[in-house]
Amino acid sequence: MYDKYQSPLSERYASKEMQYIFSPDKKFKTWRKLWIALAETEYELGLDSVTKEQIEELKAHADDINFDVAKAREKEVRHDVMSHVYAYGVQCPNAKGIIHLGATSCYVGDNTDIIIMTEALKLVRSKLINVIAELSAFAMKYKDLPTLAFTHFQPAQPTTVGKRATLWLHDLMLDLEDLEYVISTMKLLGSKGTTGTQASFLELFNGDHETIRKIDGKKMGFDACYPVSGQTYSRKIDSRVLNVLSGIAQSAHKFSNDIRLLQHLKEIEEPFEKHQIGSSAMAYKRNPMRSERIASLADYVMSDAMNPAFVASTQWFERTLDDSANKRLSVPEGFLAIDGILDLYLNVVDGLVVYPKVIEAHLMRELPFMATENIMMDAVKAGGDRQELHERIRQHSMAAGRVVKEEGKENDLLERIAADSAFGMTMEQLQAIMKPENFVGRSPEQTVEFITEYVQPVLDENKDILGMKAEINV
């Protein structure tokens, strides 16, 4: 176990559910289901060489795969599909002559890839919706809590903690739209033959085109097959799928960046377990390791999306095999990585810790600067000169800024304005203006409107899959 490489995606990050979807057991059981479906279709369409007894024999051994026989055979013939055709035939001697009849390797290989990717996309969808549910609850809980907003990571006009969370949510809702579109367009390759012309089936069915048109994907749970293809389905399908995963990774990375910065500010922290160690040297540290792991895995998923792009763009004519080894790596590992990301995302949001007092302290240190426009307007209404007051505020703000930055003292802008007769305002009047909720605009309302009008309908439609909890291995 410890003397050969093991993928961290399996050992550390991905769930058991996603790992099984891309397991050999799932793959080769799907191959056998496809061979059964092919034989059933050929029998139902009147092919005399396929009998009901042969189909029953195939069904009897659909799940008890003799991996050892297939593995030994592949060493000899160097062909994975024919090795499993042989192994299935060993178990089904009466049916061995009709296994894979009329098909090429891509019948099982490509159709299985589509089936597996579709199932994996649906698991991603379930997890993504659960993240959206947790994040929407967080947004509603903190919709009224004022906090500093940042542009260029410099203090800017206040928002609320909940409104900021809607920005993360909006990205995920866009991802969900893309994901659902891709799921809705997934189709099987079908039974197209060696170059996509179905010539072998035309021979089997004595040139009956209408009979061949009845071969579809319904037995495997799909409404349709791609209308045309070479030997394989277009490799742009893989690119489209991994681009959706990349989009989710981009959104998760953005979220993790913000959480890491907020944890640095001590305003919000990701969950930190009782016995968790933040640093081997600095025992006091509480590093945002979950958010950092999200970022790290997201980097991988985003870069992984380049693999099917290269593969799709470099295929030759009706088929070339330089896609195979790449697909075996890029597609499963992209899914395992995004699965780990979504589990981490769900775990972090579920355990986020908010520190309102720290948030308030940071906000109140900067609020006098942001309140200057309101102060100026009130002073003008009391008879002041707008241009003169603007210049005085500029000078007072620069002076107060120097006190904060160079002397490390508290912001004394309000004291400076109160002492300036041009404004004609007392300290009490100025303090009355300093209510954070007066400076957040429509943040609370925007949060409620976004959640109730855009997010909640999605959650209501999918209430049967809500309630997931993420288990983090390490």
CA distances from 420 to 368, 389, 402, 412, 430 (A): 15, 10, 18, 13, 12
Q: Measured between alpha carbons, how far is 173 from 167 in angstroms, rounded to an integer?
A: 10
CA distances from 252 to 28, 111, 180, 229, 351 (A): 33, 31, 18, 35, 16
Q: Is 144 left (phi over 0), alpha (psi -120 to 50) or beta?
A: alpha
Dihedral in degrees, nearest 10, Cα atoms 120, 126, 131, 135: 150
Q: Measured between alpha carbons, how far is 201 from 192 in angstroms, rounded to an integer?
A: 8
The 3-class SS string of 334-349 reads: HHHHHHHHHHHHHHHH
Q: Measured between alpha carbons, how far is 35 from 100 in angstroms, rounded to an integer?
A: 6
Residues facing 268 on adjacent strands: 354
Q: Measured between alpha carbons, how far is 109 from 323 in angstroms, rounded to an integer?
A: 12
Structure letter (DSSP) for residue 188: B
Q: For residue 349, what are its two tokens?
A: 């949001």
Q: Measured between alpha carbons, how far is 239 from 326 in angstroms, rounded to an integer?
A: 12
Residues facing 269 on adjacent strands: 353
CA distances from 76 to 66, 73, 79 (A): 16, 5, 8
Q: Measured between alpha carbons, how far is 200 from 102 in angstroms, rounded to an integer?
A: 5
One of 79, 209, 279, 313 is an active-site residue; which one? 279
Q: Which of 289, 306, 286, 301 is nearest to 252 (CA)?
A: 301
One of 152, 184, 264, 280 is an active-site residue; which one? 152
Structure letter (DSSP) for residue 283: T
Q: Is 184 a catalytic residue?
A: no
Q: Is 396 a catalytic residue?
A: no
Q: Considering only the C-alpha atoms of the chain, give the largest distance between any 2 of them, rounded to a whole number of Å.
A: 104
Catalytic residues: 152, 279
